[in-house]
Chain A
Amino acid sequence: MEKVIIIRYAELFLKGKNRGFFERAFETNLRRAIQAYEHRLIKQSGRYLVRDFAEEDAEAIMEKLQKVFGVHTLSYAYETASDLDSIFEVAKGLCRPNGTFKVESHRGDKKYPMTSVEISKKLGGMLLDYAKGKLAVDVHNPSFTIRVDIRENGLALVFGEFIGGANGMPVGTAGKGLLLLSGGIDSPVAGYMMAKRGMNVDCLHFHSYPYTNMQAKEKVVELARILSEYTCGTTMYTVSVTHIQEEIHEKCRPELMITLLRRFMYRIAERQAKRIGGQCLITGESLGQVASQTIEGMTSSNSVVETLPVLRPLVSFDKNEIIEKSVKMGAYETSILPFEDCCTVFLPDFPAIRPKMKDILHEESKLDVEGLIEEAFTTLEKIEL
C-alpha cells in the first residue's frame, strides 16, 4: 500500500490538436511547484500521480499543487492490489467512526471480474459489517464517500475526497502580460486572474522614494512573491516616478495629478512590456472604485498606449468580490499592511473625477514627457521571483 496524490485536470481536454502543448506546460508547472520536495511525478491516462514523497511533505505538496492553474481536483489516495480484500483493508482506514457513507467505483480495467456497481455493493457491505451498526449507507446525501478506482495494472487507487484545485489553464499557454502592481488589494488579484487563463505575468511597480519608504517597496516585493506562486515565477521591475510627480506638482493643475501620473505610468509600462516581449498591460482597475477609475480616467490612460491592449480583469468587480479573491490567493494580509505605495504628499484634496481630454493635453504640454520617461527608465530595477 503506497500513498499517492492524484492530480486531475479538466479543461485541457478541450484543446484538441494542441493538447500536447498544453500538457507540456502543465507538467512543467507541476514540477516547478513541488521541486523543493522529493517526489516522482508520473503521467497516467488522463491524470498525474505524485508518488515517492515523504509523508511529512504531503500537506505542503498538496498546498503547492492547489495553486497550479489547470489542476481541477486533487486526492490523497492509497494504491493497493486490486483484489477486494486489499481494497477493504485500505477503505477501513478511510471510514469515519460514524455517519452515513457510500462507495463509488470506477473500473479502468474492463477485464476486472466485477462491474463497478458490484464492487460498490460488495465493498459497502463489507464496511457495514465492519462498522457494526455505527455506519449506514446513504447514496444520495452521504456524510463521506469512499472511492475506488481499479487500474489496468492490477492495482487500485482508494481515496476519500476530491480537493478542489485552482482550475483555469496552465500558465505559459496564453502569452505574456505586464501587470502594473501597486501595493493595494486589486492588482495582485488582477495578475492572478490573468494567470488563471494561462498568461505569463511579469510585474511593474512604480515608487516615489524618498516620498515612499523601503517598507512599502518590500511589501510590493512580497505581493509579487505571493503572486509568483500562481504564475510559476515572475520578474518584477521597479521604476521611480518621483521626479515626474514633482514636475506635475510644480507645473500642472493639482486636481489632474493622478490623471497625468497615470498617463506616464501607462507609457512607461507599454515600453517596458515591449522590451520584455509582453503582449498586453494588465491593471487592477475596477470601474468607479476611485476617482481615477472612471471611464473618463480609463480613456485618458488608454489613449497613451499605442499598440498593446490594456486588460482589466477586475473592471466589473465589487470591492468585496476582489477582497474575497485576495483572501483566497493569500495576498490580503500583505495588501492591507499600512505602507503607502504612492505618496500622499502630492495627492490633491479633490482629484478630477471626469477629466476632460482637452485639459489633460493642455496641462501635459507643460511637461517634457519624453525626457521624463527616459529619465524614469534610468531608475529601472529588476527582481527575479
Chain B
Amino acid sequence: MVDIGDATPVRAWQRRLILILLLAPALLWLFALIVLPHVQLALLSLRERVAPHVYQPSLAQFHTFFAEPLYWQVFVRTALLSIVATALTLLVAFPIAWVITKVARGRASALLFVVCLIPFWVSETVRALGWLILLRESGVLPALLVKLGLTAVPVELLYHDATILTGLVYTSLLFMVVPLVSSLESLDNSLIEAAYDLGASGFATLKNIVIPHAAPGITAGCIVVFMLTLGNYLTPNLLGGKNSQWFTELIYTQFIVRFNWEQGAAFGFLLLGLSTAIVAVGLRLSGQRFVDVMRRS
C-alpha cells in the first residue's frame, strides 16, 4: 500500500509563514487597540499643560485628584457602593443558584436556569428604561403605593443610593448566577446527605461543606460583578441622576465635556488601578489564578 507518512508534509518554512500570518492579527489587535492606547493614556495622565500646545511631565493631574475633595470622595463612594452591590448580588443570586442545582430537578432546573438568563439578552438601556418607568415619581410603583394607601402622594423612588444599588444588582445577577451554578453543580449531593445524617445543622453544612466547595465560583462571580459595577456608567447615571456621583461620570466629564484629557486620563488610570487591585486581592484571598477565573466566568 501507499506510504502511511504525511502525504503532503508541511515544510518548516511553510509552518513558519502560517505562524506569522496567524500572529499578525493577534499582535495588531492587542498592540494597536490595547497596549499602545494605554501607554498613550499613561503618558497623557503624566503631563501638564503649561501654555497652549506646550506640555511638561508632571504629577499635577494626580495631585488635583487628592487635593480636590469631590474627586476622591466620588472615587471612594464608587468603590464602596460597588462592594455593597457585589455583596448584595451574591446574597440574591446564591439561593437561586442553589434552587437550580440542588432543589429543582431535570427539566424544571434547566428551565429555571434559562429563564434566569433571558433578561440579560436585552440591552441594558432597555432594562434601565423599565426601571425608570417603574420608579420615577409619575411611575408605576409610586402610583401603586398611593393606591394601596401607603403614601399620601407619589414619592420619588429614583435618585437614591438604594435605587442605584437595585439597578446595579439587577444588571449583575447573571454574572453571579452562572459561575455559582457551575461550581455548585460539581458538589456531590452525597456530601450534603452525609453531613445531614451526621446531624449537622443547615448552617454548619453551608459553612463547612458548601461554601468551601463553591469558593472558586463565588470568587469568579464577585470579581466579574465588581469590575462591571465599578466601570458601569449607564445604570448609575440614569437611575441616580445628579445624585449618582459615579466615578466613570467624572471621566466622561473630563474627557468629552471639558476636553481636559490629561485629567480624564489620570482618572482612568485610578479606576483601572482600583479595579486591578481589588481583583488581585480577591485572587490572593481565594488562592486562584487570573487565567482560571476568567475562563470560568
Does A pair with B?
no
